[in-house]
Structure 1
């Protein structure tokens, strides 16, 4: 199965414990990806959360499609990681590694995207990269609410 790995490093002006708590809460993923418009069906067990994330896509400027994806999320120590399973044949593994950086946090955001077909991988990886690059600014903007 074709795959690609994407990496981004950015700074968030909040302590690692606050960033970990923020990234460990499923409801905070709404808007963290510009595609995610809702989170529902949250199921929590010790050390793990599972939920359905609603990704909204627009095609040709007027066709709306809501993609319901299954997400598994684990937050422990200095890491938040998980998996995303899309019904469209796309799988994504993610890992946020957090490290103290001055008075804030350095976040290493690593995504591995897999898809059933190479053209689907190209599309999914392009969208994932757009989201990944936006995430640093979004988290930095949320830093004040994390404290």
Structure 2
């Protein structure tokens, strides 16, 4: 497996989004694995502030020089903020996906939904399994 970065403070989805939670506010982005797989991000479409999203809802898109990919919400809630810097600098998703390259924030509707996501170890195992399927 390639050397991807992970964080024990984040929860991950099988669609490669991550979320951190502070005081019931979730910050969402895509994983290092996802940004690496997509290639150079050239455009980011994010959910509208104030919109309601449900777990696994398609809520935006990322376009790279290689492909376009849908963005899914890891949990249910109300979008409170978008990372507007990405409008001018979408490449931050590639260069700093866990910090400056975050995508949106939301007020979490049901904090128990976090327990359904993957922790760092589970996500690493998922990627290894995914890469092995691709090789076959």
**TM-score scaled by structure 1?**
0.30
**TM-score scaled by structure 2?**
0.32
**Higher CA-based Rg:** 1
Structure holding more strand per residue: 1
